[in-house]
Amino acid sequence: MTTDSKWGKETLRQMLLIRNFEETADKLTLRGKVPGGMHNSSGQEAVAVGVMSALDPKDVIATTHRSHHHTIAKGMPVNIVMAELFTKATGCSGGRGASMHLADVENGHFGGNGIVGAGVGIAMGAALGIKQMGHKKVAVGFVGDGGVNTGRTWEAVNMAVIYKLPLIIIVDNNQYAVETFVERVTGGNDIAKRGAGFGLPSFTIDGQDVEEVHKHTSEARNRALAGEGPTFINALTYRYYGHNVGEKGQYRTQEEIADWRSHRDPIDRFSAKLISEGALTQADYEAMIKSVAKEIEEAVDFAEKSPLPDVSTILDGVDSGLLGARK
Amino acid sequence: MSTTTPTTQQNPTYSEAFQSGVREEMKLNPNIFILGTDLVERGGHFAQVKGIAQEFGVDRVKDSPISEAAMVAAGLGSAMYGCHPIIDLNFIDFSLGAMDEIINQAAKIRFMFNRPVPLVIRATSGVALGGAHHCNSLESLFAHTAGLSVAVPSRAYDVKGLIKTALRSPDPVIFLMHKKLSGVRGEIGDENTFIPFGSAHRVKSGKDAAIISYGYTIVSAQKAAQTLAEQGIDVEIIDLRTLYPLDTDTINATVQKFGRVVVADEAPMFGSITAEIAATASEVNFRHLKGPIVRVGAARAPLSANPQMSEAAIPSANDLVEAVKKVMSY
Ligand SMILES: Cc1ncc(C[n+]2csc(CCOP(=O)(O)OP(=O)(O)O)c2C)c(N)n1
Ligand SMILES: [Mg+2]
């Protein structure tokens, strides 16, 4: 199937933007600019962009500790994301959250999370809210291959099924949880089958193919909007860097990483397809890479120049105060 | 109470002290095993079990899925059956996904069924970088729960001596190791050094007032003591080492000796262990007090990822200096 040129270019640019953001932020983290470090999503761009390009901007997502790619694909400007990584006052969470707690609840981003497995439950709750209020939207909950071993994830899936909620569960399955290979900790070794056991449509897909991710998410969204309930999607992908910035470890080989990078890279694959179909010229592509680099440079500059949060505000916003709480 | 021990470069780290105590007990008790995430190859996130799987095999150091409720349940059931598991929850924040297993189940078995639950739940605790989901100070919650004991060592010597005691105890122990102390070196005891729970350690003796504390705040208290010494105030520092059982004898003796006492930690002050200590010590020793016991603790707010905000929320050495000056003013 040939790709629509406009959609293809936008999609490719988003993936390039995420890749450049992550590689830039990784280096800045090593230079001490990102308090608490960060989880780099390089290699996983197609999952985020494929899903988000199939959603309406008003749809809701709730995600994980590794969520820069989801957040940028959801539409948060990269300067705001970068400023949050720097824990600056201009960041999306005012510097309170950093890399793991990116959010924009107003615009349907219900947050990254420090707690593995928390995202699917929150998205399930949002889907319930959507249904209760009669809205025409869906919610998407992201979880990792490690996170699918938390009980809370499956409690949420079950509830979504019995209430027929407009929920899409995406396993951002990069095959490792910290240093633990998925097969070592996944009974039955088939995550989609687990999903199917709860009685909902459940698929394992190629998460390095942005169009495949887009297609499955669109179909899931249509089912959800038609009142047919949730869908479970296990998207196979790969992270190129360590779990946290700076980590290497002996748990996987350099050959394995090189193989994923050289044969299955989501950006290389998609750009090659667009170029071969004539939807994109090499010159367009190079210009796109340059413009993305400029956008990220400006984001870093914005984050650097932004003010730190005011430490006198540490007690602000713990609660509304309407119940009479005092400082 | 024991006395302070000197530190040198060759000494083991706080994390290595844990390894040392666990190794010794594992050699003696074949029913001890460790279960948690990323233990076998990585040795745990703070290197606290590095090399143990290589020495004892993967049947006794088990990598776990990220399933905290099942991890604690596995520990609880196997402990009731006769094992002595160490469940490594990585960060204490993740215990919140296993609270029923800890508070409703593990803590209450002996009382209801008259059966031992020899279970150690180890986790890294305390405030450092990491923000709202990685810096909860939950020790008061566990100390509040009947049936649980809580260890909060501040130095390598106590880590080793306390974990060895915990691994001979028939009761569930919450073993909290402070993130910021992981790499700090110090002398450790030999295979026969067991530190009893409920025995505080006098870090430094003094003449004028006392700071009672635990965990990383002991480091701040030592800094504060230096500053105060320059101003002619000689402050004593008591490290509680365990929060339950609590060394009330030492607490009472300290209050009676000085009548000027600061109780400090980095947990939110509202409803915290410092409140328990101040209230009980005041009830028992009211006529010995020269003025109220002063508490120092954290703001009742989630921790921010921004380092300056996070630091501002918890006590600094300077806050302790001010608190001691306050009790000196009585
Ligand atoms: C409840 C809980 N347990 C453990 C952790 C520590 N931890 C953070 S990320 C992680 C691995 C998660 O793996 P996965 O779900 O595959 O996500 P990935 O890092 O691969 O994106 C672990 C164990 C946590 N944050 N929360
Ligand atoms: Mg993973």
CA torsion angle B194 B196 B199 B204 (round to 10): 10
Examine the domain organization and report whether B116 and B213 are in the same domain: no
The answer to whether residue B166 is domain-embedded is yes
Q: Is residue B186 part of a domain?
A: no
Q: Which CATH number goes with the domain that contains B114?
A: 3.40.50.970
CA dihedral A199, A200, A206, A209 (to 10 degrees): 180
Nearest to A35 among B37, B129, B302 (CB): B129
Ligand 1, residue A144: give the atom nearest the CA. 15
Tell which of B148, B181, B214 closes a domain: B181
Coil, helix or strand for B32? strand
- Gyration radius of chain B's alpha carbons: 19
Nearest Cα neighbor of A50 from A175, A203, A178 is A203
Q: Residue A119, Cβ neighbours under 10 Å: how many? A: 32
Cβ separation A87–B306 shorter than 8 A: yes
Question: Does residue B219 sit in the same domain as residue B145?
Answer: no
Q: Is residue B218 part of a domain?
A: yes
Tell whether B128 and B86 lie within a shared domain: yes
Shortest CA distance to A161 belongs to which of A190, A202, A132? A202
**Among all chains, which residue has been given the structure tokens 């501002």?**
B312
- In sequence order, what are the residues at sequence separation of 6 or more whose Cβ sits closer than 8 angstroms to the Cβ of residue B10? none
Same structural domain, B28 and B94? yes
Tell me: the pLDDT tens digits for B9-40? 689 999 999 999 999 999 999 999 999 999 99
Atom in ligand 1 nearest the alpha carbon of residue A39: 19
Q: Which domain holds residue B33?
A: 14-181
The predicted structure's pLDDT at residue B2: 47
Whether B145 shows a pLDDT value over 50: the answer reads: yes
Tens of pLDDT, residues A181-223: 999 999 999 999 999 999 999 999 999 999 999 999 999 999 9
Residue type, A292: V
- Three-state secondary-structure class, residue B176: strand
Q: Same structural domain for residues B129 and B217?
A: no
For residue A13, is pLDDT > 70? yes
Query: Is B189 a domain residue?
Result: no
Give the count of domains, chain B.
2
Judge whether B49 lies within some domain: yes
B161 with B238, same domain?
no
Instruction: Provide the 3-class DSSP secondary structure of residue B96.
Output: helix
Q: Do the Cβ atoms of A314 and B301 come within 8 Å? A: yes
CB-ligand 1 contact for A114 (6 Å cutoff): yes
- Tell me: do B46 and B139 sit in the same domain: yes
Nearest residue, CB atoms, B307 vs list A35, A150, A185: A35
Q: What percent of chain B has pLDDT over 70?
A: 97
Q: For residue B314, what is the domain's CATH number?
A: 3.40.50.920
**Among B308, B278, B176, B154, which Cα is nearest to B222's?**
B154
The answer to whether residues B28 and B174 belong to one domain is yes
Q: Which of A29, A152, A18 is nearest to A85 (CA)?
A: A29
One-letter identity of residue B66: I
Domain end among B150, B181, B212: B181
Give yes or no: residues B177 and B208 share one domain. Answer: no
Per-residue pLDDT of A143-189, as tens digits, reads: 999 999 999 999 999 999 999 999 999 999 999 999 999 999 999 99
Residues B23, B93, single domain; the answer is yes
Both B120 and B234 in one domain: the answer is no
All domains in chain A, ordered by first residue: 5-302 (3.40.50.970)
Please identify, among B153, B181, B209, the residue that sits at the C-terminal boundary of a domain: B181
> Does residue B9 lie within any of the structural domains?
no
Give the DSSP letter of residue B13. Answer: B
Does B4 map to a domain? no
pTM, two decimals, is 0.93
Q: How far is CA A75 from CA A104, A205, A297, B184, in A?
A: 10, 24, 18, 44
Do residues A94 and A85 lie in contact, with contact meaning Cβ atoms separated by under 8 Å?
no
Q: Is B51 found in the same domain as B158?
A: yes
Q: Rounded to whole angstroms, how far apart are CA atoms A194 and B225?
A: 58
ipTM of the complex: 0.88
- Residue A325's alpha-carbon distances to A53, A316, A318, A321, in angstroms, are 43, 12, 10, 5
B30 within some domain: yes
Give the tens place of pLDDT for each residue, B180-236: 999 999 999 999 999 999 999 999 999 999 999 999 999 999 999 999 999 999 999
pLDDT in tens, B271-290: 999 999 999 999 999 999 99
B134 tagged catalytic:
yes
Q: How far apart are the C-alpha atoms of B140 and B162, rounded to whole Å?
A: 19
Cβ atoms of A227 and A211 within 8 Å: the answer is no
Answer yes or no: are the C-beta atoms of B83 and B59 closer than 8 Å: no
Nearest to A221 by CA among A11, A41, A3, A50: A50
